[in-house]
Chains A and B, each alone.
Chain A
Amino acid sequence: MVKILRILQVSFRALTRNKMRSFLTILGIIIGVAAVIAMVSVGEGARKGIQERFASMGTNLLFVSPGSRQFRGVQTGAGGYVTLKPEDAIAIEQNCDAVAAVSPSISTRSQVVFENKNWNTQIQGTGEKFPEVRKWNVSDGNYFDETHVATAAKVCVLGSLVKQNLFEDEDPIGKTIRINKIPFKVIGVLESKGEQGGFFNRDDMIAAPYTTVMRRLRGVDYISSIDVEAVAADMTDEAQSQITELMRERHRIAPGADDDFQVRNMSDVAESAAESSQIMTILLGSIAGISLIVGGIGIMNIMLVSVTERIREIGIRLAVGARERDILLQFLIEAVVLSVGGGLIGIVIGIGVSRLMKYVPTFESITSVVTPGSILLAFLFSASVGIFFGYYPARKASRLDPIEALRYE
């Protein structure tokens, strides 16, 4: 033990003798570890944000979306065929007693113009019960009603970001905007949901009656999905089976054949969204991890140079009685001190970078989360990089022949 401490001391001294070189060597590890921690914390923050966003949408929400359907023996992919009609939505609302409200949904992107300003945004076609189903109310004016939907009225409700962009401080209620050159009367403004840890802003949209979007903007007779509100959170499973039964009947699906639609509840959707951001975290983390490996190669390179430079020293140590494993340990400790030192500095910088991330425009919505797990991972990874890449040079040093090493000039 005493010996290991003293060898550690020897290693430290050797490293501080070449301060500049040691610093440049560990720079690779510093950058690698800092990148891993910053990337993972951003990814983790995005995941948390997505979860929070879905939680805020309510837990008794279900989605009905088109599934795969067989057409003359050819199976289409999920969502690859339009199978949902507005009548399906009406039938669900009327026949399923576990369902409180429905809102058909179809969207399109379009350029919107008001006077000399214009903006490209999502036009979300919804039913009149959208505010109830999505727990999203107007902050100003009114949402459109049943009559607007029935007559495919050219009215719209602005998301707060669109309102801000087109009207700034002006009152938009009663004004007319043009969506795809068609005039729409603004009757309300939605309350701001804010940017909650996502990569898109939910306030960047305009709501209009789904009938209007179908007929006047898209020119189609189908809808892309149906938002369903169950009567209570614990009734979502019941609502799900009622909807499935009704839809199979309506779509004349033979017993045993696959559904041509999907019914998913909020927790399914939240889970899959969280999963995809998890994948992104892993991806970001592994790209950063590659830079750690590159840093490890840098350590190996410098350790090999260092062994060559110090052949005489190794010879002297062997002559006065150092065993192979003493030399191996000395050089291995040097490599590990480099990588762990770089790792620790990298952790500090990584935490700093992830704290500063919210000042970068693209990431401002993400509250990065530095987890103890990612710190531990980065630390252990950098230590093992040191052992892995330090072993070969250290072994090379320990296998030197003392006589030749002593004669080496």
Chain B
Amino acid sequence: MSEKVIVLENIARIYQVGEIEVQALRGISYNIERSEFLAIMGPSGSGKTTLMSILGLLDRPTSGQYLLEGEDVSVLSKDRMAAIRNKKIGFVFQNFNLLSRTTALENVELPLLYSNVSSKESKEKALAALANVGLKGWEYHRTNQLSGGQMQRVAIARALVNEPSIILADEPTGNLDSKNGAEIMDIFTRLNREQEITLVMVTHDPVIASYARRRLYLKDGQIIREEINGKADGRVLVQGG
């Protein structure tokens, strides 16, 4: 079970803001294995969102190497990046980012619109994904008729629908109350355990982070600490470096 989905080698990201160079990431090296559940934590400005953007191929590192399932994805064209986002990455955002005034089903079908799937197959996959997150019966509700928790579940279904290698969640419970937040985390835990989906989640909430098996702490663009939660899978682990 030590297949590495993501290998990061000395990833750095420098933003040019006018005359000033901002170093958002300063040499991140880290491996993420298949069916891992990882939480990335850190204060604002620590570079966790930048790291998520690079992991999600929305952004390219200034230097360093990023291997996704063995393929070097740090130097790809925009179109190639879009294709990989489409096939291998699912996003879940804090503010859900669903299309307004469209149905749950249409939102879940969105990634399939850009991946040469027939209408029939697309609908079948989307219905299955919605059932997977417990939204059977809500397929034809418009997103503005759904509660926050339901909207986030639609977003998770959308992330799942193309069977990605990894799901990236950016503060997935940030806009939810604790009850709905716990429900979302239960779904994530179940997907991770039962369907062995690899999850990477950015959060600053320690309670939410405690659902993850590993926790990575960032500060000033560097990894400062890693915790492995023994309780999550019933084993006692020693903290690794």
Residue in contact with A321 in the complex, picked from B59, B114, B119, CB distance below 8 Å? B114
Contacts of A324 in B (CB 8 A): 78-79, 82
Listed residue (A17, A315, A322) with the most chain B CB atoms within 10 angstroms of its CB:
A322
Binds B, one of A2-10, A81-89, A265-273, A346-354: A2-10
Given contacts A313-B99, A402-B58, A403-B59, contact A320 B86 (CB under 8 A): yes
B115 at the binding interface (Cβ < 8 Å)? yes
Contacts of A321 in B (CB 8 A): 82-83, 85-87, 111, 114-115, 162
Residue in contact with A3 in the complex, picked from B86, B93, B97, B116, CB distance below 8 Å? B116
Residue of A nearest to B159 (CB): A320
Given contacts A3-B116, A403-B53, A406-B93, contact A319 B58 (CB under 8 A): yes
**Chain B 53-67 near chain A by CB (<8 Å), digits 1 or 0:** 100101100000000
Number of interface residues of B (CB under 8 A): 29
Q: How far is the CA of A3 from the CA of B99 in the complex (A)?
A: 19
Residue of A nearest to B49 (CB): A403
Residue of B nearest to A321 (CB): B86
Residue of B nearest to A326 (CB): B114
Contact, CB under 8 Å: A320 / B114: yes
Contacts of B53 in A (CB 8 A): 403
B101 at the binding interface (Cβ < 8 Å)? yes
B158 at the binding interface (Cβ < 8 Å)? yes
* Residues of A317-357 contacting chain B, CB below 8 A: 317-326
* Residues of A1-43 contacting chain B, CB below 8 A: 2-3, 6-7, 10, 13, 17
CB distance from A300 to the nearest CB of B (A): 24
Given contacts A7-B113, A403-B53, contact A320 B83 (CB under 8 A): no
Q: How far is the CA of A403 from the CA of B93 in the complex (A)?
A: 12
* Residues of B73-113 contacting chain A, CB below 8 A: 78-79, 82-83, 85-87, 91, 93, 97-102, 110-111, 113
Listed residue (B53, B97, B98) with the most chain A CB atoms within 10 angstroms of its CB:
B97
Residue of A nearest to B109 (CB): A6
Q: How far is the CA of A403 from the CA of B168 in the complex (A)?
A: 14
Given contacts A402-B58, A403-B59, contact A319 B116 (CB under 8 A): no
CB-CB nearest 6 A-B residue pairs: A321-B86, A320-B111, A323-B82, A321-B114, A321-B85, A323-B79
